[in-house]
Amino acid sequence: MRVVAGQAKGLPLKAVPGNSTRPTTDKIKESIFNMIGPFFDGGTAVDLFAGSGGLGIEALSRGIDRVIFTDKDKKAVETIHANLEKTRLQESAEVYKADAERGLKAMKKNGVKARLLFLDPPYHMEKSYGLMAKAAELGLLEDGAIIVCEHERDIELPDETAGCIRYKKELYGNTIISIYRYQGEEGESID
């Protein structure tokens, strides 16, 4: 695993020790950022179920101002810190050892407004994709925010939920990347 592009391009990233996480491959990561960017002009990103932090770190490398990482696994949190240090991006990051839903509630209290949300739970935690709607309901998403869901081919996500409309869906082996855009509370159409 490595950072694919931007200021930390080419730097290797550590994986979380053990089998508790499934890192996003460099090929899929590159495809994700080609679909959603590929570069950013500031803003905040949230990386739920962050694992090694690869998606959030890639967003920082490509111009996002700040990333909030959450993972409930202690080894994952330690790995995120190590990867942020290696890429020298720790000043732009907040890392929390927390359950994703509790993390979202804390972000609401802190007034977080995300431009980008990564939702990549362990595949057996199918109900966790409902956190996209929860983030919208809590007011954590900017109008036009992008939500990236990585899921198994057998899991079917809705085309629309809580103002989030899927506009891209790509299959990579057994993995599907579904990309949504939050169209705001008023439900105005987006381009």
CATH assignment of the domain containing 90 = 3.40.50.150
pLDDT of residue 191: 41
Q: Are the C-beta atoms of residues 84 and 57 closer than 8 Å to each other?
A: yes
> Is residue 134 included in any domain, yes or no?
yes
**pTM (2 d.p.):** 0.90
Q: Are the C-beta atoms of residues 110 and 44 closer than 8 Å to each other?
A: no
pLDDT of residue 184: 77
> Is residue 114 included in any domain, yes or no?
yes
Domains: count for the chain: 1
pLDDT of residue 57: 96
Q: Which amino acid is at 129?
A: Y
- CA nearest neighbour of 151 among 181, 134, 129: 129
pLDDT of residue 89: 96
E strands of 153-184, at which residues?
Answer: 160-161, 164-172, 175-182
> Is residue 191 included in any domain, yes or no?
no
Residue 163 lies in domain: 26-182
Helix axes 54-61, 26-36, angle to 10 degrees: 50
> Is residue 98 included in any domain, yes or no?
yes
Q: Which residues of the chain register pLDDT less than 50?
A: 187-191
pLDDT of residue 21: 66
> Is residue 102 included in any domain, yes or no?
yes
Query: Which two tokens mark 123?
Result: 């595949």
> Is residue 79 included in any domain, yes or no?
yes
> Is residue 111 included in any domain, yes or no?
yes
pLDDT of residue 190: 40
Helix axes 54-61, 74-87, angle to 10 degrees: 20
Look at residue 120 and give its three-state secondary structure. coil
> Is residue 7 included in any domain, yes or no?
no
Consecutive H or E run containing 145: strand 141-152
Q: Which residues contact 111 (CB under 8 A, 6 or more apart)?
A: none
